[in-house]
Amino acid sequence: MGHSERDLNENPVALIDKQTLVKKFLSVLSTESVKYETEDLTPFECDGLSAYPQIPMIVVLPENEDQVCQVMRICHQYKAPIVFRGAGTGLSGGAIPYDQGVLLVLSKLKRITHIDPVGRYAVVQPGVRNAAISEATKIHELYYAPDPSSQIACSIGGNVAENSGGVHCLKYGLTVNNILKVRFVTIEGDIVEIGSEGLDSPGYDLLALVTGSEGLLGVVTEVTVKLLPTPEKAQAIMASFDDVEKAGRAVADIIAAGIIPAGLEMMDKKAINAVEQFIGAGYPMDAAAMLLCESDGSSEEVASEIQKTTEVLNKAGATEITISSDETHRLKLWAGRKSAFPAVGRVLPDYFCMDGTIPRKTLPDVLKRIAAMEDQFQLQCANVFHAGDGNLHPLIMFDANEGDQLHRAELYGAAILELCVEVGGTITGEHGVGIEKINQMCIQFDNQEIQTFLNLKRAFDPDGRLNPGKAIPTLNRCAEFGHMHVHRGEERFPDIPRF
Amino acid sequence: MSTNETVIDRFKSQIIDAKKQSTCVRIRGGGSKDFYGVNLEGEIVDTNEFTGITEYEPTELVLTARSGTPLKEIEQTLNENNQMLPFEPPHMGTKATFGGCIASGFSGPRRASQGAVRDFVLGARILNADAVDLQFGGKVMKNVAGFDVSRLLAGSFGTLGLILESSVKVLPKPEMERTVLFDLDIKSALEKMNTLAGSPIPLSATCFDGNQLAVRLSGSEIGVIAAHKKIGGEVSEGASYWQSIKEQTHPFFGSEGCLYRLSVNPTAPINRYTDALIEWNGSTRWVWNNGTLAEHQDFANEHGGHATVFRGNQLGNPISSISPALQVLQQKIKNSMDPDGIFGKNRLFAEF
């Protein structure tokens, strides 16, 4: 955070002649696929992070892989910076345009190319919506597991770029665990196939490197995703607690009992109340915290896991337990959780959604300290939590049009991220760094570690023209940001005097 | 200075010396995977003394250990807490270390259902080519800050840096496992593997060894019994069988010559590989000899995958073949992390 006066021009580029580029693009793309007038550019000024809009110089919307390659080659020839955009739902500003660059939008590549129900995979273009994959494979009783809360809108290309998670990560993994292969276009406009239809490929695991690389290394034009058999049954338990700490301990107790639920979510009182007023999911308004715990599998497996989990929750001091009675009820319980962000958005006009991950055992302490910061920054914060995997989403509520609230919200967010690092966690679990958390990268990593990232970046993009100013800070930026990275609890050079 | 710091200092000076003298080092734990690779070059950096589980809290589902820690010790500790390494790593000998397990990236029978080493690596602490101590990833289950260097290290065979410590996600052991056998020929066995893998049952391993199709179910007692009822098959003693597949002590692996691993689309036809051992729901085919790497790669290319020489490679020969475009990227990764080529020269590629 702290981007109110942000400067994207960290990688200075030569001034690019807009007219020349437009002409070049029009020679390979249709007229409606090249946008360069301000009124046509404005809809692309931001993604899911709306606080830092920026108008791109040119927007291009290629319709196929060949056009993507041609656009890449033109940009390469004219040294034009490129930002990639899928559905524009990202929360960390990864697709915020660069004012002196090209925004390459992949939304027109939205074909599901191939479904192999026997081999259990689907080949899809990057603009395909996450939820559309499972919709298309439903008839084969197969589905694509990662389910970010924006799944009805977000695209698979963006999911790969961000390594998106969702509420079922604990059992089924993130994007990186659920894709087999990508077609990747380099900055030079060359196509490389990374991964395979088999399980392991020779050499370095480029698929792991590319997944979550936030558009810094190249662009993906096709993704082969793994499909899993749809579980016969799913059932959810909602458990109320009169104390957040008890709810946190219950999560550890479930894991200790050898149960890995399909989903394990926690919400605090503020989040529960916001959701309940928004959609009436039947959440306990008087509870200090609630857990939503899902079991899936065969009817027999689900019945036995639900019984076991209920016992654990009772022992852990749950004040009320509701087990979903049928599929409609289960979906209603989840609808509440999945609408937590917009629900909070109704309380105040703006919110920042933070995304730190912490060791689960530190949860009570972290929640207490986040609550204490409400006084410090004079803002409210609701918490939703992928409790199973320790991924915390504090939602800082503010009104950007009221005084210095935006600034205070940024500071509050930064303080939360720093707290996550302090307790042994990370600044981002699933939303990516983007521009939102770029300063906090300097806290999580020291200069040499960041240098390793920069070297990897340079290997793909020597001049820093792919998504400039995002995800990996320059060392200068870290020096200016001024926070000292503390390495494993000790300073790097303790004998050097500091002023 | 503690022993561990002394060991790290030794690692550092070996790396710095290699850099100064333009030589290379070979990072080695128990040497149990020495059979694998293009070549074994460089002065050995022995990680065996750098041992110990540094952090493990069962309810966090995360374990962190130093690279020289015996893999056996890690599995034993997890077992005492009713947990396991989900990727079921092959030891390939008695001396396997945790670092070697990560660096080799080898996974066992549970690979197709649970994932590989790389799917469970959460973080790593390494010494880079300048002998600088760096940390990537973390000890939490979801982490997308920075490039995923720790996953990149899985399967890198010590060619990108010296892994000092790794953190991995662990899972509870299943309440029950049951192995069932089906008498089938190779073609029907492959079909059955794919059918089962597409059914909502707690499948945790499949293997056709030339005689029978073995299927392992893992999960809650009630779930395993219900699934067995659904799929049928004759109950068999499973533990030692899967151990023999994982550790390649099964008679199939007793031949001589070149053992190839074909990693392909799980529905790829049997073709001329009528005497293959098939694992991982059809996507891995083990074959002895029966042609050159190029010939196997042709088959693999046609079926969306790769061929690798797993054992019996003649030193210096490539163990795999990838597209030129991919080779360029592989080389770029290597150059960016180890520009002077200090680590594990020619272990993975004949060119670098």
Tokens 């803002």 -> residue: A379
A-interface mutation test, from B62, B118, B141, B151, most A Cβ less than 10 A away = B141
Q: Is the pLDDT of residue A441 over 70?
A: yes
Interface of B with A in 152-181 (CB under 8 A): 152, 154-156, 160, 171-173, 175
Distance from CA of B295 to the nearest CA of A (A): 17
ipTM over 0.90: yes
Query: For residue B79, what are its two tokens?
Result: 């077992």
Q: What residues of chain B, 279 to 298, have a C-beta less than 8 Å from chain A?
A: 280, 283-284
CB contact set of B19 (below 8 Å; sequence gap of 6+)? B129, B130, B131, B340, B342
Q: How far is B12 from chain A (nearest CA, A)?
A: 16
What pLDDT does B263 receive? 98
Please tell me if residue A444 touches chain B, with a CB cutoff of 8 Å.
yes
Low-confidence ranges of chain B (pLDDT < 70): 1
Predicted local distance difference test score (pLDDT) of residue A495: 40
All residues of chain A having their beta carbon less than 8 Å from the beta carbon of residue B308 are: 202
pLDDT band at A482 (very low <50, low <70, confident <90, very high): low
Q: Each residue of B10-62: pLDDT tens digit?
A: 999 999 999 999 999 999 999 999 999 999 999 999 999 999 999 999 999 99
| C-beta atoms surrounding A108 within 10 Å | 16
Q: Where are the domains of chain B?
A: 3-172+331-337, 176-311
Say yes or no for a CB contact (<8 Å) between B147 and A119.
Answer: no
Residue A485 contacts B where some CB pair is shorter than 8 Å: no
Q: Which residues of A touch B320 (CB under 8 A)?
A: 202-203
Mean per-residue pLDDT, A426-437: 94
Quote the distance between the C-alpha of residue B239 and its chain's center: 19
Cα(A287)–Cα(A260) distance, integer angstroms? 24
Query: Which chain B residues are closer than 8 Å to A444 by Cβ?
Result: 145-146
Give the pair of three-digit tokens for residue A150. Answer: 């924006």
pLDDT at A245: 87
With beta carbons less than 8 A apart as the criterion, state whether A405 and A381 touch. no
Distance CA A93, CA A8 (A): 12
Residue ranges of the domains in chain A? 18-230, 233-342, 346-481
Q: Is A211 on the interface with B (CB under 8 A)?
A: yes
Which amino acid type is present at position A221?
T
Q: Do A449 and B326 touch (CB under 8 A)?
A: no
The yes-or-no verdict on residue A2 having pLDDT over 50 is no
Name every chain B residue with its beta carbon within 8 A of the beta carbon of A174: 142
Q: What is the pLDDT of residue A13?
A: 55
Question: Using the beta-carbon criterion (under 8 Å), do B128 and A424 form an inter-chain contact?
Answer: no
Question: Are A389 and B171 within 8 A, CB to CB?
Answer: no
Neighbours of B295 (CB within 10 A): 13
Report the distance separating Cα A389 and Cα A381, nearest Å: 21
Q: What percent of chain A has pLDDT over 90?
A: 82
Report the candidate in A285, A192, A430 with the shortest Cα–Cα distance to residue B323.
A192
Least confident of A440-449, A483-492, B160-169, B329-338: A483-492
Residue B156 is encoded by which pair of tokens? 């890198």
Of the CA atoms within 13 Å of residue A197, those in its CB half-sphere come to 21
Q: Is the pLDDT of residue A480 over 90?
A: no
d(CA A366, CA A383): 11
Give A233-342's CATH code, choosing from 3.40.50.1820, 3.30.300.30, 3.90.226.10, 3.30.70.2190. 3.30.70.2190
* pLDDT in the model for residue B83: 98
**Which of A139, A210, A221, A298 would you mutate first to test chain B, the one with the most B CBs within 10 A?**
A298
- A481 and chain B: CB distance < 8 Å anywhere? no
Q: Could you tell me the CA-to-CA distances from A193 to A185, A207, B327 in Å, in that order?
A: 9, 10, 11
Residue of B nearest to A440 (CA): B145
| Closest residue in chain A to residue B119, using alpha carbons only | A177
Judge whether residue A5 has pLDDT over 50. Answer: no
CA distance A466 to chain B (A): 15
For residue A121, give how far its alpha carbon lies from the nearest alpha carbon of chain B (Å): 10
Q: By the CB < 8 Å criterion, does A459 face chain B?
A: yes
CA distance A12 to A491: 32
Q: Between chains, do A118 and B267 touch, taking CB under 8 Å as contact?
A: yes
The predicted pLDDT at position A498 comes to 36
Looking at the partner chain, which of A200, A299, A455 has a beta carbon nearest the beta carbon of B263? A200
| pLDDT (mean) for A292-316 | 96
Classified as helix, coil or strand, B73 is helix
Q: Which pLDDT score is estimated for A496? A: 36
pLDDT of A14: 58
pLDDT digits (tens, 9 = 90+) for A172-187: 999 999 999 999 999 9
A418 CB near a chain B CB, below 8 Å?
A: no
B84, closest residue in chain A (CA to CA): A258
CB contact under 8 A, B329 and A460: yes
Instruction: Search chain A and give the residue with CA nearest B349.
Output: A203
- Out of A190, A426, A448, whose CB is closest to B138? A426
Query: What are the pLDDT digits (tens) for A46-72?
Result: 999 888 899 999 999 999 999 999 999
Half-sphere exposure for A355 (CA within 13 Å, toward CB): 26
Tell whether the model's pLDDT for residue A23 goes beyond 50.
yes
Answer yes or no: is pLDDT of A8 > 60.
Answer: no
Please measure the distance between the N-terminal and C-terminal CA atoms of chain B and give it in whole angstroms.
37
**Looking at the partner chain, which of A361, A450, A452 has a beta carbon nearest the beta carbon of B128?**
A452
Tell me the C-alpha distance between A400 and A285, whole Å: 28
Q: What is the mean pLDDT of residues A190-212?
A: 97
Judging contacts by C-beta atoms under 8 Å, the chain B residues touching residue A297 are 200, 202, 219, 223
Least confident of A142-146, A263-267, A492-496, B339-343: A492-496
Confirm or reject contact between A422 and chain B (CB < 8 A): no
Residue A1: pLDDT band with limits 50, 70, 90? very low
Whole-number pLDDT of residue A444: 94
**pLDDT tens figures, A244-277:** 989 999 999 999 999 999 999 999 999 999 999 9
CA of B105: which chain A residue's CA is closest?
A200
Taking the CA of residue A295 and the nearest CA in chain B, the distance in Å comes to: 12
Q: A234: nearest CA in chain B?
A: B200
CATH 3.30.70.2740 fits A346-481, yes or no: yes
CATH of domain B3-172+331-337: 3.30.465.10
Nearest CA in chain B to A142: B198
How high does pLDDT run on average in chain A?
A: 92
Whether A233-342 and A18-230 are alike in CATH topology: the answer is no
Tell me the mean pLDDT in the region A432-458.
95
For residue A422, is pLDDT > 50? yes
Report yes or no: A432 at the B interface, CB cutoff 8 Å: yes
In the CATH scheme, what is the code of domain A18-230? 3.30.465.10
Best residue in A184, A186, A362, A452 for a mutation probing chain B (most B CBs within 10 Å): A452
- pTM recorded for the entire structure: 0.95
Q: What is the pLDDT of residues B172-223, one digit of tens each?
A: 999 999 999 999 999 999 999 999 999 999 999 999 999 999 999 999 999 9
pLDDT at A106 over 90: yes
3-state SS, A162-229, equals HCCCCCCHHHHCCHHHCEEEEEEECCCCCEEEEECCCCCCCCCCHHHHHCCCCCCCCEEEEEEEECEE
